[in-house]
Amino acid sequence: MISKGKGGIGETVRTVFVAVLIALAVRTVAFEPFNIPSESMMPTLLVGDYLFIAKYSYGYSQYSLPFGLPLFSGRILSRPVHRGDVVVFKLPSDDKTDYIKRIIGLPGDTIQVRDGLLYLNDKPVQRQRIGDFLYHDRFGDVGEVPQFIETLPGGTSYHIIKIRSDAELDNTPVFHVPPGHYFAMGDNRDNSSDSRIAPGDGGVGFIPAVNLEGRAEILFFSTNGTAHWWQVWLWPDSLRFARFFKPVGGGA
């Protein structure tokens, strides 16, 4: 028997309400979707990628909650962050904007870039030149740029690109990561506003542990942006099917 009238409407409202609560719960404690709007994490992440982050990876802070509700301070059920993790966090300068970068430095580490090469605790990070990356910039230009496999202490490997040999961030001061903070960089080393740039200069600076929202886990969708949602006939050429369900993070 199917309910009609007020009973049917009431049941529908209750069902929708419960569904919304379940979705919010999953989004808060388990997985949350994000999309990639910039080139800063190329070649690991491309503009038009959609991914899930695991909210439980590092425990929970107020930024795990909808709208960043300040219901508690610090982190609960805290878990360790590892070098090489790709993380989503709230930009420390406004605690509102979502950023995604790769964790390079842990509390107590020293970080420096010298002549384009990353140094961790005064030791050069292993880097191996591989085949060029086909780079599509935001202006529609395409070109090949140098690509490397970088391997952090502990064995986490990932791809990075270096577009220029004399980039502004190829030589930095020594950064000392303070307690309770992290140092993050984009895989697109010449086109990333990250911890190498101070917040007052439009960068990220050190990331407080409380600002971490979760670890990027897997891509679930990817489009090159050449087709609108209603242009169904163009979908086959715009969707990057090879990127669907691709894990994010280390592993070159």
Straight-line distance from the first to the last Cα atom of the chain, in angstroms, rounded to the nearest whole number = 57
For residue 200 the two structure tokens come to 């007052």
Virtual torsion, Cα 219, 222, 228, 229, nearest 10 deg:
-40
Active site residue 55: no
- Alpha-carbon distance of 196 to 218, in angstroms, equals 26
| Annotated active-site residue in 55, 90, 101, 162 | 101
Question: Which residues, including other chains, have CB under 8 Å from residue 26's CB and lie 6 or more apart?
Answer: none
SS3 assignment, position 209: helix
DSSP-derived letter for residue 231 is -
Closest CA to 82 of 60, 99, 98, 58: 58
DSSP secondary structure letters along 52-93: EEETTBTBB-GGGSGGG--SS-S-BS-----TT-EEEEE-TT
**Using CA atoms, how far apart are residues 112 and 196, in angstroms rounded to an integer?**
9
Annotated catalytic residue 40? yes
| The one catalytic residue among 40, 57, 61, 195 | 40
User: What residues are labeled active site?
Assistant: 40, 101
